[in-house]
Amino acid sequence: MKSLADPTKLKPIDKKDGLLQVIIETPAGSRNKFAYDPDQGIFALKKVLPVGMVFPYDFGFLPQTIAPDGDPIDVLLLMDEPAFPGCAVRARLIGVIEGEQLDGKDKIRNDRLIAVAEANHQYANIQRLKDLPSEWLEEVQDFFVNYHNLEGKKYHLLGCKGADTGLKLIKNAQKAA
């Protein structure tokens, strides 16, 4: 008997309104990094960040996609309160942070979609990535650099693009799935 649906099988985009369906893996404010384990059909603890370092926003993935790093495409989700692992959140795409990680000599693209939860107050007026303060991007970049350093990897920000670029990434990731 199955008690939970496999979140990787859910639709990534609602065709009626174009909203993304983001599956939360790690909630904002958590030191714990969770990841969906498809073999067990559960969300499992992957690692714990050091004291003083937490995930600044909810992180999740878009189902039925495969990004260049071999995982479903990552989504950084802006919302009022942290969600929980496995929660599906409808969100509008506002842009993408393009980046690459260096793992030894291998360069791997590791872009993150940026989306705003449909049900929220704090980010309700954010329609584009450019609507966020410039300091926001610097802080998020610092997080990714430090996060990857913990794994012995280097992270380099390549730039930020709008929702159109994010949609192209999603289409490519859907084809790869």
Domains and CATH numbers, the chain: 11-176 (3.90.80.10)
Residue 36 has pLDDT above 90, yes or no: yes
Tens of pLDDT, residue by residue over 126-165, are 999 999 998 998 899 889 999 989 888 899 989 899 999 9
Tens of pLDDT, residue by residue over 49-74, are 999 999 999 999 999 999 999 999 99
For residues 177 and 173, give the distance between their C-alpha atoms in angstroms, rounded to a whole number. Answer: 6
Q: Which of 31, 46, 66, 45 is nearest to 143 (CA)?
A: 31
pLDDT at residue 114 in the model: 97
Give residues with Cβ within 8 angstroms of 126, minimum separation 6: 78, 94, 116, 132
pLDDT at residue 1 in the model: 41
For residues 130 and 78, give the distance between their C-alpha atoms in angstroms, rounded to a whole number. Answer: 14
Q: Which of 79-83, 84-88, 140-144 has the least mean pLDDT?
A: 140-144
